Amino acid sequence: MGASAWDYYVPYQEDLDAALQQLRGEVFATGDYYWVHDDEPQPDGDGEPRPQSLDELWEDELVQETGTHSILDIFRVVGPDETPDHNTVEPVTAEEARELLGTDKLTRAHVKDFGVFPQSRWIGRCTVLHDEAGDPHEIYFWGYSGD
């Protein structure tokens, strides 16, 4: 199948990891993710039922291999002194934003240019987006994952 790109806008809150966890909960609850077992034909025509919790989802070996092609593949936001690793999201730093886009007050208008930020499969990125007055307004998560 290959990796899939994904992106999400969520209301601003100071704690990026709390925003991530809330988003993951919402995506899981709506079922808006790739469920590998939907592709397996069953004699009765129904696929394997979806899991009832995120823990149950990640206990599935096929999910561990293929992912969900969504934010569910990302477990936590890394801190400023951490190196991003598989299943993490790395915030854009103010220095990175200034160097690559000329400002540290990113807005939705800048999103189209976010391809300049380095990223890797299974490691998401996030940044705070500001309103016209320069105040934090929302958080944007993006990346690509899955196999």
List the structure tokens of 6: 């994904």
pLDDT band at 147 (very low <50, low <70, confident <90, very high): confident
pLDDT band at 96 (very low <50, low <70, confident <90, very high): very high
pLDDT at 42 over 60: no
pLDDT of 44: 56
**Cβ(127)–Cβ(139) under 8 Å?**
yes
pLDDT band at 48 (very low <50, low <70, confident <90, very high): confident
pLDDT at 117 over 90: yes
**What are the CB-based long-range contacts (under 8 Å, 24+) for 107-115?**
107/131, 107/132, 108/9, 108/138, 108/140, 111/140, 114/142
**Cβ(72)–Cβ(54) under 8 Å?**
yes
pLDDT of 43: 55
Q: How far is CA 17 from CA 79, 89, 103, in A?
A: 10, 9, 23
pLDDT digits over 51-86, tens only? 999 999 999 999 999 999 999 999 999 999 999 999
Mean per-residue pLDDT for 93-108? 96
